[in-house]
Amino acid sequence: MSANHSPAGQQPTATYESAFLKACRREPVPHTPVWFMRQAGRSLPEYLKVREGIPMLESCMRPELVAEITLQPVRRHNVDAAIYFSDIVVPLKAIGIDLDIKPGVGPVVQNPIRTRADLAQLRDLTPEDVSYVTEAIGLLTAELGPTPLIGFAGAPFTLASYLVEGGPSKNHEHTKALMYGDPQLWADLLDRLAEITSAFLKVQIEAGASAVQLFDSWVGALAPADYRRSVMPASTKVFEAVASYGVPRIHFGVGTGELLGLMGEAGADVVGVDWRVPLDEAARRVGPGKALQGNLDPAVLFSTTEAVQTKTREVLDAAAGLEGHVFNLGHGVPPNTNPDALTRLVEYVHTQTTR
């Protein structure tokens, strides 16, 4: 049972009644809730201190360290939700994929998956493979009190891109070539990744996560017809796999303005929007029955406080008619952001939107 659940006949929990979860459910909120993608990370000096000398993947497998890093932005910024500190390739590492996260590069896969024989590398993920996740979330839910915890995973397309390319890619040539050239192998690859991703999200929800976000970082590289035919079925499978838990499901990708309607159709309750599409236009593209999340341009954080507030006001004004709105950046927090700018931003949104 997740902290998000309010079982019939029982009093709703403080977490269930939080502004963040209410906004996700498109219910009236006391203020617009705020959290930031990559809020736990290199923008915080306390993060750099506890991570010093510890490789990224190792840090994701130390429960007490994960809990501390996840809590840091909640303490500092008074955000309305915590997001579990991890990396999208953690479940791949957990099932034995030979990969590492190289500083300044990102995930690097030693043996890219490009043939049917390569699919054998992708075995099922079990809770025992990621016992450190269950332990860390247990620590977190005890510490967070009413603040919801967001679990997350990489979406099948983005995981496939890392696996097929062997690392980060600007143009995803190998990935698209496989998708276009061997549709059946591609479908089987994404289906396997959907099963792994679903299992990883289930572990987080069963341990106490109150919502989940599916990050499809690279899916903006696709045309809508290719997304619908070759990617959406796998993302839908993930959302359907966790539907019975009753926790809000968030779907986010970068550069996905042309895909927003399809991303909502894939099964999310909340659609994340990057900074390129105003939220009122995003709502038109997504259609009714969905909350939206976003979408301040992260670059404005390097400007003046006045500029941040002006751009934030624009986001809030564009969100005025939405069924539900969770304030966020349109992408992750840049590593060299002044953390004080984020603290001021949270305070500004809360002050401006208190009902």
Catalytic residues: 38, 42, 51, 87, 162
Structural domain includes residue 2: no
217 is in an annotated binding site: yes
Percent of the chain whose pLDDT exceeds 90:
96
Query: Is pLDDT of 1 > 50?
Result: no
Q: Tell me the average pLDDT across 109-132.
A: 97
Structural domain includes residue 306: yes
Confidence of residue 6 (pLDDT cuts 50, 70, 90): low
297 is in an annotated binding site: no
Cis bond upstream, residue 295 (ω within 30):
yes
* Cα gap 189→114, rounded to integer Å: 9
Query: Is pLDDT of 7 > 60?
Result: no
CATH number at residue 39: 3.20.20.210
**Domain of residue 236, residue span:** 19-353
Q: Which residue shows structure tokens 């130390």?
A: 62
41 is in an annotated binding site: yes
Confidence of residue 8 (pLDDT cuts 50, 70, 90): very low
How many structural domains compose the chain?
1
Q: Tell me the average pLDDT across 267-271.
A: 98
Structural domain includes residue 4: no
188 is in an annotated binding site: no
Report which secondary-structure segment, H or E, holds 116.
none
The predicted pLDDT at position 63 comes to 99
Q: What are the pLDDT digits (tens) for 290-300?
A: 999 999 999 99
42 is in an annotated binding site: yes
* Cα gap 230→226, rounded to integer Å: 6
Q: Tell me the average pLDDT across 233-252.
A: 98
Q: What are the pLDDT digits (tens) for 155-180?
A: 999 999 999 999 999 999 999 999 99
* pLDDT, averaged across the chain: 96
Report which secondary-structure segment, H or E, holds 18.
none
40 is in an annotated binding site: yes
Q: Which residue shows structure tokens 């679990």?
A: 151
The predicted pLDDT at position 355 comes to 86
Report which secondary-structure segment, H or E, holds 291.
strand 291-296
* Cα gap 15→22, rounded to integer Å: 10
Nearest C-alpha neighbor of 315 from the set 261, 347, 353, 265: 353
